[in-house]
Chain A
């Protein structure tokens, strides 16, 4: 089998020494982790390696020799390096030598028990050690779960080897240890003061946050808030749901358990960045609103807007009470329904006018809650729209109920008209013999209902359209809120700035070749695409999505059943 040697690019200019790393025999590949320089005592090297093996659980061993000679090849050095092969028994013993800054290295193996005498082909794969150590492979979903350990792909093995050998990279060349290594960090371990300070500061901050959150949850769960009108109100307002969602997020971040694996860490980071951006945008919005007293202007325009809506509705009803679109309505029913709805609008306007002195103050205080986040502000906007158009919702319910009654009455009387009956026990239509007076009254009622149908249907149609308009507007706002909630911003920024951290795979580039020398490849990290990144790291949200398909929605509209087009997760099914 072809022998593959994964060689770190940082060791290309290292002094002569021996190579240490991991030998994966089933794939015939050697992953070189570092170079140990002369002088060294073999016993100490073996001790050091066994220590490293204990900590990292990876079989790190001496793989071969590395000679980097500035002058012509020295015979004595090469003999010495071959003799080392007998001290560190490793099968096969790899010898790599580089001459005078030449790009093309010669690589050979020494097999003690060579049962095949032909030359094995050797492939030299260069890799960037730091990037491979920091990166995380994202294999496609179908290959990850059921693979046994020995089926594991080569690349996962290589990445795991480098990632788990962090302890090896902690010793640098300024240490006074028995072994002198060269690897990517051998010039000195880098650390950032800011990161260390943040890590130290995060512990008390987390404790404080957990304490505050427990207080808040105690208050929220108190019995006082569970009484019927209040609990109904909380469940209907989307602001409360959004606040609850954010509280949950805060709990996840401030929990003192460390993240077990990479996915959890990314999730925590995504939630943190999302919250930060949300609050920043909210404060920006708040500062824009409160500057130049825009809140005052908003409050001043709110009442005229509500008045305007009411006037438009009144005009609409007057139009319906006349001859709308040239259709002839039943005059009496028309007047009854029209006057009924007009009275409602009159009541609504009176309530709005009653509240008008307090609107500005209420709006001012409610606007302050925008500092909790842009999503909260958008939810409040959606709730305000719902409250302002409450009369449209009421009209829709009245119209729908009336229409629904009419349709069911019509269908049942139609069955009577044909001499059939609905059998509730068997859930089917059976024939039935009616008395004459039953038939007479039934037919009379049927005729009345049939001829009153256009009027009711028209009112129903108009109010349903208005209601659907409001629902669409609310739905768009909720879509925006969901987008802000679920977008994994930290992952996207990481993919943009440090694309090697999120790897979908690797790519190989063939470097210059020379006849007689081993094949040289450069292994680079192939980053994850943005689409699969967002899909993988999406934050779960209390998303609202359409409950019904188009056909069932149309069916419900036709029969006059009340529609609640958006379903929230956690809502009871009706």
Chain B
């Protein structure tokens, strides 16, 4: 699910939603853990096992929501300033990276062979300061939400429109 916002002629925001946390999977996992804990309790008659199981489930859920589960990934591209990549987690935490326009060489769609499939991913090529034609780093985007090719093509076209502007704009005096 791609959401586009055009803030101005040179500023666009593209956001992709990751698949939501499944309630079924969560309840299945919790029930399995608690059944196992109850089985252990019946075996060893120690009630600490039950409290430990509850504690572990709670802590595990909090850690998962705060550090692992990504809710939405967005790309904010501001022509002549830079590209900002944000991932927002299920607990509300947001982690942002901003890459300046002078460091961005290009935004491309790459192919990769993973197991038995070919997957497509969008990435930003970072310019190498020493070698003007070289690429020093590749920053992959949308790693958790993994949109499909049609979505990626739309994002790619949007980005390229903004990136074209910096080539055609007249230099300031």
Partner-B contacts on A (CB < 8 A): 1-2, 4, 25-26, 28, 91, 113, 115-116, 121, 123, 125, 142-143, 146-147, 151, 153-155, 505-508, 510, 513, 519, 521, 526
B164 within 8 A of A: no
Are B76 and A508 in contact, with the CB atoms below 8 A? yes
Which B residue's beta carbon lies closest to that of A28? B172
Task: Please give, as numbers and ranges, the residues of chain B lying within 8 Å of A2 by CB-CB distance.
Answer: 10, 79-80, 169
Q: Which residue of A2, A505, A508, A510 has the most chain B CB atoms within 10 A of its CB atom?
A: A2
A24 to B98 Cα, complex, angstroms: 21
Q: Are A116 and B7 in contact, with the CB atoms below 8 A?
A: no
Number of interface residues of B (CB under 8 A): 27
Q: Given the complex, which residues of A lie within 8 Å of B84, measured CB to CB?
A: 507-508
- A153–B170 touching, CB < 8 Å: no
Contact A526 B98, CB 8 Å, known A1-B172, A153-B103, A508-B76: yes
Please provide the chain B residues from 16 to 42 with a CB less than 8 Å away from any CB of chain A in the complex: none
Q: A2-B169, A123-B81, A519-B10 are in contact. List 13 more A-B contacts (CB 8 A).
A: A4-B80, A26-B172, A115-B173, A123-B10, A153-B100, A505-B97, A507-B86, A507-B96, A508-B98, A510-B76, A513-B7, A519-B78, A526-B97
Kindly state whether residue B13 has any CB partner on chain A within 8 Å: yes
How far does the alpha carbon of A170 sit from the alpha carbon of B102 in the complex, in Å?
34
Do B78 and A521 touch across chains, with their CB atoms under 8 A apart?
yes
Q: Is the CB of A123 within 8 A of B78?
A: yes
Check if B133 is an interface residue, CB within 8 A of chain A: no
Q: Does B81 contact A508, Cβ atoms closer than 8 Å?
A: yes
- B60 interface hit (Cβ, 8 Å): no
Contact A519 B102, beta carbon cutoff 8 Å? no
Which residues of chain B (83-108) have a CB below 8 Å from chain A? 84, 86, 96-98, 100, 102-103
Chain B residue at smallest Cβ distance from A519: B8
Report yes or no: A505 in contact with B11, Cβ–Cβ below 8 A. Answer: no
Question: In the bound complex, how far is the Cα of B136 from the Cα of A28, in angstroms?
Answer: 26
Interface assignment of B116: CB less than 8 Å from any CB of chain A: no
* A508 proximity list for chain B (CB < 8 A): 76, 78, 81, 84, 98
Q: Does B9 sit within 8 A of A, measured CB to CB?
A: yes
Contacts of B10 in A (CB 8 A): 2, 121, 123, 519
B103 / chain A contacts, CB cutoff of 8 Å: 143, 153
Closest to A524 in B: B96
Contact indicator A510/B97 (Cβ below 8 Å)? no
Question: Which chain B residues lie closer than 8 Å to A521 at the CB level?
Answer: 78, 81
B46 lies within 8 A of chain A by Cβ: no
| Residues in B neighbouring A26, C-beta threshold 8 A | 172
Contact B170 A116 (CB under 8 A): yes
Could you tell me the distance between the alpha carbons of A121 and B11 in the complex, rounded to whole angstroms? 11
Which A residues touch B7, using CB under 8 A? Answer: 510, 513, 519
Most buried by B among A154, A506, A508: A508
Nearest residue, chain B, Cβ from A504: B97
- Nearest CB on A from B89, distance (A): 14
In the bound complex, CA of A521 to CA of B8 (Å) = 11
Instruction: State how many angstroms separate the Cβ of A430 from the closest Cβ of chain B.
Output: 54
Is B98 touching A506 in the complex (CB atoms < 8 A)? yes
Query: What is the chain B residue whose CB lies nearest that of A506?
Result: B98
Which residues of chain A are within 8 angstroms of B134 by Cβ–Cβ distance? Answer: none
Chain B residues within an 8 Å CB radius of A91: 173
Closest to B166 in A: A1
In the assembled complex, the Cα of A146 lies from the Cα of B130 at a distance in Å of 8
- Bound: A109/B87 CA distance, A: 36
Give the chain A neighbours of B97 by CB distance below 8 A: 505, 526
Residues on A with C-beta less than 8 A from B96 are 507, 526
Q: Which residue of chain B lies nearest to A517 when distances are taken between CB atoms in the complex?
A: B8
| 22 contacts across the A-B interface (CB closer than 8 A) | A1-B170, A2-B10, A2-B79, A2-B80, A121-B9, A123-B11, A142-B136, A143-B103, A147-B129, A151-B102, A153-B100, A153-B103, A154-B100, A154-B102, A507-B84, A507-B86, A507-B96, A508-B84, A508-B98, A510-B13, A513-B7, A521-B81
Nearest opposing residue in chain A for B169, CB measure: A1
What's the least CB distance linking B167 to chain A, in Å? 11
B37 to chain A: closest CB distance in Å?
31
Q: For the complex, what is the distance from the CA of A386 to the CA of B109, rounded to whole Å?
A: 61
